[in-house]
Amino acid sequence: MMAQLAEAAKHGVDVIWWTDHDWRAQAYGYYPGMSLNGTNEDMGVRWNPREPESVVDPRHKFSVRHRGPHQRDAALRVEATAAGAAWGSYFLWPKGGNSFYTTNLSDTTISVDVQGDQLGEDAEAVIEVGTSYRPATAGRPAGEYVLQYRLGATAGRELAEPLVGVVTTRSTRRWQTLSLNPLADIKSFWPDLVAEDSVISRIWFGVRARNRSRAVASFDRAQFHRTRDQLEWPVLTQRALMDELAPRYPTVRQHLASEVSMVRHLNVFMPTSSCFPIRIRAWPRCWTDQPKPAGRWCRGTSSEAHSCSTTTHRSMPPS
In this structure, the answer to whether residues 257 and 212 fall within a common structural domain is: no
In this structure, the answer to whether residues 45 and 108 fall within a common structural domain is: yes
Average pLDDT, the chain: 85
In this structure, the answer to whether residues 45 and 141 fall within a common structural domain is: yes
In this structure, the answer to whether residues 221 and 238 fall within a common structural domain is: no
Work out the pLDDT band at 27, boundaries 50, 70, 90.
confident
pTM: 0.85
**204-253, pLDDT tens digit by residue?**
999 999 999 999 999 999 999 999 887 788 888 988 999 999 999 999 99
C-alpha separations of 45 from 9, 90, 304 in Å: 38, 19, 30
Where does a domain end: 177, 203, 225?
Answer: 225
In this structure, the answer to whether residues 85 and 178 fall within a common structural domain is: yes
| Listed range (71-85, 155-169, 171-185, 301-315) with the worst mean pLDDT | 301-315
CATH code of residue 50: 2.60.120
In this structure, the answer to whether residues 135 and 175 fall within a common structural domain is: yes
DSSP code of residue 201: -
> Would you state the pLDDT for residue 273?
58
In this structure, the answer to whether residues 44 and 134 fall within a common structural domain is: yes
C-alpha separations of 157 from 150, 160, 185, 199 in Å: 10, 9, 10, 21
Whether residue 262 has pLDDT greater than 70: no
> Would you state the pLDDT for residue 16?
94
Where does a domain end: 206, 225, 244?
Answer: 225
In this structure, the answer to whether residues 51 and 114 fall within a common structural domain is: yes
In this structure, the answer to whether residues 209 and 81 fall within a common structural domain is: yes
| Listed range (23-32, 39-48, 73-82, 294-303) with the worst mean pLDDT | 294-303
With contact defined as beta carbons under 8 Å apart, do 252 and 10 qualify? Answer: no
Q: Quick one: what percent of the chain has pLDDT higher than 70?
A: 83
Domain containing residue 295: 233-315
Segments in the chain forming alpha helices (H): 2-10, 22-26, 182-189, 233-245
> Would you state the pLDDT for residue 298?
41
Quick one: which of 32, 21, 7 has its CA closest to 238?
21
State how far the Cα of 91 lies from the Cα of 207, in Å rounded to an integer. 7
**Mean pLDDT for the stretch of residues 76-102:** 92
Q: How many domains does the chain have?
A: 2
Phi/psi-derived region of residue 221, left when phi > 0, alpha when psi is between -120 and 50, beta in every other case: left
Q: Does the residue 17 lie in any domain?
A: no
Bigger pLDDT: 191 or 270? 191
Longest dimension (CA), the chain: 71
In this structure, the answer to whether residues 41 and 98 fall within a common structural domain is: yes
